[in-house]
């Protein structure tokens, strides 16, 4: 009878242990988990433990249940074991169950976006199917956020499974779960990890996790804090984390959301690892674009029972979150639920495009005994209830719904989008650089508008002006597409400000060009300059002007770089005296302001170089008698037909008609000139002397008659 009882007891104990997921020696794959790839549209990571060499993973589209089209990926494995007791850095640690095995990972890449996959792991005996759905573009999706389940028994572990089932009932489109730490109660106890991997819902979606303080705890009843070694044995996160905290810090993208995990426990232990993560976070933000930025870590920014560390977090992280426009920070640690208003620079934001919402997610486990310490920044807060939060993501915002174990909604709100979902699709760097402008504000020369537009969105981190003293004008980081310009104030009138325009691109390149600003008031506009030669005797320069601010002093007109005249500012036309149509001329209109600076200049070519031509009278002087007329001979060389005009400089003495006929009117002298019309350079002339009519000879005396 004792033997039978002992055998029954053995079966009960063995069944209990097996239920926790402890595997028999030689198991090919266990503790299987799907983790995010860096880009979940095409990448996914898997982690598992194995007691054999050569285990592998097979994956295929969900419809291929027979795995006939499956792709095989060999596991990249490393030996993993921890002694039951060991020392590090002068501190003693204990573990239970960390016997020798392989920790294996497979990074799946080249996946098809917006597709559901299944996979299995093993060598000769395969695991049940696990599944995941890849991301696609900016399409709506949902994820589940939970924290601090702190599994230490089957009943506490079942809370996660129950919550996940509840959440999927509310929103079947949940693509992954996000844990902000303290998944197990003691990371140094292997059976606690078994509780996690034994949950059925773990097969249905990836989980993204970050370590909490309990992932650093050994197996002691009064736990000693080790490092991320325990945690790293169970997850295969993207290999893009900060130096020294690889795998326990990382980032990934799902559709239009960039999610960044920070190891706050490493930061508590090491100032170096704290700074490494801050530097890395800046690099991540400046190299990646997304409509939404979600950060998750364990320690809370507005803590209750564990609030002593919160000021350190706020002092170090909030300036970065403000700079980069983080939308929401998901934390745990305090086992109470609270959600702040959008916070910017430590206070409630008054700008809908700025501010981060901080959420402490309560507890997705049984430890709900802690009290809430209220804060004026809290919009919602409660204690003594376990809960999880569903985030539904679309282009309009992050729509969260927090439920308790009775499926009662405890919090529901939309965190509005601070950025649009899409980009321009193409980005020409030179065209963008050329589009940035710096102009005076109309009517106020102490202000200027620095305008960089919105085409930068998704491709540029910052657009700044640097002056001669290396002073910077502009934002350190453009965290919303609604930032398109900046007003510069307190400029000095009548100054020339010269800057370097610097554009920092997300691909690591930098664009640069000089840009200048004059702080004179605008003088208005001048235009429509043209030459009217309908009347060649009075060739006109005409223009239009809409002047303002009394900034102009005069106009200046130059012909072939020689000042011809200076019209007043009320004029819009001027006669171009002596302009020769048969010569190529440069006619220039300038506007001069009250500071004697040329603020407008327009040049126009007029005329053309004509062929050489001469006209010649056959004599230099000529005499005529009053009352006579004569058409002097005029020779044209080379012979051609020309429009010749004639003139007398003394029409009281002699006149000349349009045919060149000269009529002597009175005694005296006159110069008779012939010229080619429009060509003042082609003339001929002679001097005419008009003599009076000779006196008639007296009649002869009659001969005396002979006597």
Q: Provide the pLDDT for residue 611.
A: 79
In eight-state DSSP terms, residue 612 is P
Q: Provide the pLDDT for residue 704.
A: 75
Sheet of strand 662-664, all strands in order from the earlier edge strand to the far edge: 629-630, 662-664, 654-656
Of 199, 165, 209, nearest to 390 (Cα)?
Answer: 165
* Neighbour tally for 588: CB within 10 Å: 19
30 and 49 Cβ atoms separated by less than 8 Å: yes
Q: Provide the pLDDT for residue 612.
A: 84
With cut-offs at 50, 70 and 90, classify the pLDDT of residue 155. Answer: confident
501 and 525 Cβ atoms separated by less than 8 Å: no
Residue 153 tokens, joined? 């028994």
Q: Is 53 helix (H, G, I), strand (E, B) or coil?
A: coil
pLDDT > 70: percent of the chain: 96
Domains 429-519 and 524-606 share a fold: yes
Q: What is the CA radius of gyration of the chain?
A: 47
What whole-number distance in Å separates Cα of residue 655 and Cα of residue 239?
105
Superfamily of domain 29-416: Metallo-dependent phosphatases (3.60.21.10)
* Neighbour tally for 602: CB within 10 Å: 16
Q: For 524-606, CATH number?
A: 2.60.40.10
Residue 11 tokens, joined? 């079966």
DSSP lists the bridge partners of residue 413 as 400
The pTM (predicted TM-score) of the whole model is 0.76
Q: Provide the pLDDT for residue 8.
A: 33
593 and 691 Cβ atoms separated by less than 8 Å: no
Q: For 614-691, CATH number?
A: 2.60.40.1080
CA angle (260 as vertex; 115, 305 as ends), nearest 5: 125
In eight-state DSSP terms, residue 66 is T
Per-residue pLDDT at 258 exceeds 90: yes
pLDDT > 90: percent of the chain: 82
Q: Provide the pLDDT for residue 707.
A: 63
Estimate the crossing angle of helix 154-170 against helix 190-197, to 10 degrees.
30
* Residue 141 CB-density burial (10 A; 0-12 exposed, 13-18 middle, 19+ buried): buried
Per-residue pLDDT at 161 exceeds 60: yes
Residue 263 tokens, joined? 């190891």
With cut-offs at 50, 70 and 90, classify the pLDDT of residue 469. Answer: very high
Q: Provide the pLDDT for residue 607.
A: 87
Q: Provide the pLDDT for residue 640.
A: 87
Mean pLDDT of 624-633: 92
280 and 273 Cβ atoms separated by less than 8 Å: no
Mean pLDDT of 363-371: 91
DSSP string, 492-549: PTT-EEEEEEEEEETTS-EEEEEEEEE-SPP-EEEEEEEEE-SSTTS-EEEEEEEE-T
| pLDDT tens string 284-303 | 999 999 999 999 999 999 99
Residue tagged 């000779």 (tokens): 694
| pLDDT tens string 425-449 | 889 999 999 999 999 888 788 999 9
* Residue 591 CB-density burial (10 A; 0-12 exposed, 13-18 middle, 19+ buried): buried
Architecture field, domain 429-519:
Sandwich (2.60)
Per-residue pLDDT at 17 exceeds 50: no
Mean pLDDT of 170-198: 95
CA angle (338 as vertex; 337, 341 as ends), nearest 5: 160
Sequence-distant (6+) residues with CB within 8 A of 100 are 79, 80, 81
In eight-state DSSP terms, residue 386 is B
**Parallel, antiparallel, or unpaired: how do β-strands 337-340 and 378-382 relate?**
antiparallel
Q: Is 90 helix (H, G, I), strand (E, B) or coil?
A: coil
Mean pLDDT of 507-535: 92
Phi, psi (deg, nearest 5) at residue 125: -125, 125
Q: Where are the domains of the chain?
A: 29-416, 429-519, 524-606, 614-691
Of 405, 368, 371, nearest to 388 (Cα)?
Answer: 405
| pLDDT tens string 209-255 | 999 999 999 999 899 999 999 999 999 999 999 999 999 999 999 99
Per-residue pLDDT at 642 exceeds 90: no
Mean pLDDT of 604-612: 86
Of 396, 404, 400, nearest to 359 (Cα)?
Answer: 400
CA atoms within 13 Å, Cβ hemisphere of 491: 27
| pLDDT tens string 79-100 | 999 999 999 999 999 999 999 9
Alpha helices, DSSP H, located in 115-241: 154-170, 190-197, 229-232
Q: Provide the pLDDT for residue 19.
A: 34
Per-residue pLDDT at 2 exceeds 90: no
**Parallel, antiparallel, or unpaired: how do β-strands 101-108 and 76-80 relate?**
antiparallel
């Amino acid at each position: 009878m004792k033997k039978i009882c002992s055998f029954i007891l053995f079966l009960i104990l063995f069944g209990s242990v097996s239920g926790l997921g402890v595997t028999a020696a030689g198991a090919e794959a266990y503790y299987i988990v799907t983790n995010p790839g860096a880009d979940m549209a095409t990448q996914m990571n898997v982690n598992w433990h194995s007691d054999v060499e050569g285990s592998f993973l097979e994956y295929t589209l969900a419809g291929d249940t027979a795995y006939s089209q499956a792709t095989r990926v060999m596991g990249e494995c490393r030996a993993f074991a921890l002694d039951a007791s060991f020392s590090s850095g002068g501190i003693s640690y204990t573990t239970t169950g960390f016997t020798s095995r392989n920790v294996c990972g497979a990074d799946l890449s080249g996946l098809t976006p917006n597709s559901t996959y299944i996979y299995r792991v093993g060598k000769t005996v395969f695991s049940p199917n696990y599944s995941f759905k890849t991301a696609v573009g900016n399409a709506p999706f949902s994820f589940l956020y939970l924290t601090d389940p702190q599994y230490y028994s089957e009943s506490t572990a079942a809370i996660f499974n129950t919550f996940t089932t509840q959440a999927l009932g509310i929103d079947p489109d949940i693509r992954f779960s996000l844990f902000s730490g303290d998944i197990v109660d003691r990371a140094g106890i292997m059976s606690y990890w078994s509780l996690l991997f034994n949950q059925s819902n773990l097969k249905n979606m990836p989980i993204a996790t970050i370590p909490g303080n309990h992932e650093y705890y050994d197996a002691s009843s009064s736990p000693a804090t080790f490092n991320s070694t325990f945690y790293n044995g169970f997850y295969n996160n993207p290999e893009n984390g900060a130096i020294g905290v690889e795998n326990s810090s990382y980032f990934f993208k799902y559709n239009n959301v960039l999610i960044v995990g920070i190891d706050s426990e490493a930061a508590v232990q090491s100032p170096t690892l704290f700074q490494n993560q801050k530097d890395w976070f800046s690099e991540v933000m400046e190299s990646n674009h997304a409509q939404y930025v979600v950060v998750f870590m364990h320690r809370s920014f507005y803590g209750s029972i564990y609030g002593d560390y919160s000021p350190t977090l706020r002092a170090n992280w909030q300036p970065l979150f403000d700079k980069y426009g983080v939308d929401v920070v998901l934390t745990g640690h305090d086992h109470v639920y609270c959600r702040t208003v959008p916070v910017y620079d430590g206070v409630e934001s008054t700008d809908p495009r700025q501010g981060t919402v901080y959420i402490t997610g309560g507890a997705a486990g049984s430890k709900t005994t802690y009290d809430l310490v209220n804060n004026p920044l809290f919009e919602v807060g409660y204690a003594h209830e376990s809960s999880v939060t569903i985030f539904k993501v679309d282009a309009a915002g992050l729509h969260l719904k927090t439920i308790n174990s009775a499926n009662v909604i405890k919090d529901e709100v939309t965190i509005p989008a601070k950025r649009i979902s899409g980009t321009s699709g193409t980005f020409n760097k030179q065209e963008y650089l050329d589009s940035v402008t710096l102009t005076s504000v109309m009517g106020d020369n102490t202000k200027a508008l620095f305008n960089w537009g919105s085409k930068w969105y998704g491709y540029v981190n910052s657009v700044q002006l640097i002056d001669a003293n290396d002073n910077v004008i502009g934002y350190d980081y453009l965290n919303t597409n609604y930032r398109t310009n900046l007003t510069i104030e307190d400029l000095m009138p009548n100054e020339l400000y010269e800057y370097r325009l610097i554009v920092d691109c997300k691909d690591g390149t930098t664009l640069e060009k000089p840009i200048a600003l004059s702080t004179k008031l605008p003088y208005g506009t001048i235009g429509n300059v043209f030459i009217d030669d309908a009347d060649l005797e009075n060739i006109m320069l005409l223009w239009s002007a809409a002047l303002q601010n009394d900034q102009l002093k005069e106009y200046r007109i130059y012909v072939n770089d020689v000042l011809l005249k200076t019209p007043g500012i009320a004029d819009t036309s001027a006669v171009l005296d002596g302009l020769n149509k048969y010569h190529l001329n440069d006619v220039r209109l300038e506007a001069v302001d009250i500071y004697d600076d040329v603020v407008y200049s327009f040049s126009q070519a007029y005329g053309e170089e004509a062929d050489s031509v001469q006209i010649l009278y056959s004599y230099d002087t000529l005499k005529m008698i009053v009352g006579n007329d004569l058409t002097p001979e005029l020779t044209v060389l080379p012979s051609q037909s020309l429009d010749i005009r004639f003139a007398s400089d003394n029409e009281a003495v002699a006149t000349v008609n349009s045919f060149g006929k000269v009529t002597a009117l009175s005694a005296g002298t006159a110069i008779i000139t012939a010229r080619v019309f429009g060509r003042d350079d082609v003339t001929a002339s002679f001097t005419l002397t008009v003599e009076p009519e000779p006196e008639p000879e007296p009649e002869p005396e009659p001969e005396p008659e002979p006597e």
